[in-house]
Amino acid sequence: MPRDGFGREIDYLRFSLTDHCNLRCVYCMPEQGLRFLPAPDLLTAAEIEQVGRAAVAVGFRKFRLTGGEPTLRADLVEIVARLARIPGVYDLSMTTNAILLPRLASDLKAAGLRRVNVHLDSLDPARVAKVMRWGTLADIWAGIEAAEEAGLVPIKLNAVLVRGFNEEDAVPLAALTLERPWHVRFIETMPFGTGDTQQVARGGLVRSTQTRTRIEEALGPLTPLPSSDPADEARNHRLAGARGIVGFISPVSEPYCGTCNRMRLTADGRFHLCLLNDDEVDVRAALRRGGDLDEVAAILLRAVAHKPVGHRLAIGRFTEERQMFQIGG
């Protein structure tokens, strides 16, 4: 298993499949003025498989497909099948807004996808329209049900709470775990890029401690759960008698850089060394000049070796070159 320059074991690779999305969440993507990658710039399914094989060869075991919105890739099922058949892939999951899962979930499960994380910021239809834009609660909920029916479990719901938009939704979202064996995780906003979306994220930060207090005042104590994975970014809890789990992911107020085990591959073929840094290492050029697995593996190991100790928020700086939808959370 590869280690970075600070001794952390890095065994988890997140593939961003596209920078396109069919939502425009207020803290992530403006509604207008966006420029997306042309199709030839995206890694092909075969190139993604080659990176996956090189990653397994050097000790990576866990993989996640992200976006943008990964279900917008017409060859998504092929990508899943290619990665799932690589010997040594321990876990293959996907983060999605679930809108297209009613027609994709069964095929994705059959191809080898194990589970999904679904982005949902509210259970109130009006606030979904306000915060997530371009999508409806009914569409997302139908996707969640399709994923569960297909066996893409445990279902994990990721909610970003933004002051002035949806912080009151913490309670009904957490209450889902009372009756359902789901993981509901609350994620602090991260100030990516520039302009209005960064201003919303910076000005709307709701700290995890505030969210936990709100939940406990309404639903009772949250009992911390022991973690079997020290690299898990979520601090997990359970409400009394609940079937599911409530988690808190706190990259701003409680950074977990010291146990980070992740590397990211952008949709245009660059290893992004840290979610909240701009440093990247290009692998697409090597793939397209016919580089073999050893060359791709060497580039990945070089990227791991240069992974920074922590993100820019620790020194009061922000990413400037990439937005979240261009990296893949």
DSSP designation for 162: B
Distance CA 155, CA 174 (A): 14
Both tokens assigned to 159:
């909610």
- For residue 79, pLDDT over 60 is answered with yes
If one counts every other C-beta atom within 10 angstroms of the C-beta of residue 6, the result is: 12
H helix intervals, the chain: 45-57, 76-84, 101-111, 125-131, 137-150, 170-179, 196-203, 208-219, 284-288, 293-305, 324-327
Chain segment 36-77, per-residue pLDDT in tens: 889 999 999 999 999 999 999 999 999 999 989 999 999 999
Q: Is the pLDDT of residue 326 over 80?
A: no
Q: What is the model's pLDDT at position 309? A: 74
Q: Convert the pLDDT of each residue in 111-122 to its tens digit.
A: 999 999 999 999
Residue 314 pLDDT exceeds 60: no
Q: 244 pLDDT exceeds 90?
A: yes
Report the relative pairing of strands 62-66 and 91-96 from DSSP bridges: parallel
Q: What is the mean pLDDT of residues 153-157?
A: 97
For residue range 217-234, list pLDDT tens digits in order: 999 999 999 987 877 888
pLDDT of residue 117: 97
- In terms of phi and psi (left: phi > 0; alpha: psi -120 to 50; beta: otherwise), the region of 3 is beta
Of 63, 66, 103, the residue nearest 84 (C-alpha): 63
Residue-wise pLDDT tens digits, 263-285: 999 999 999 887 666 678 999 99
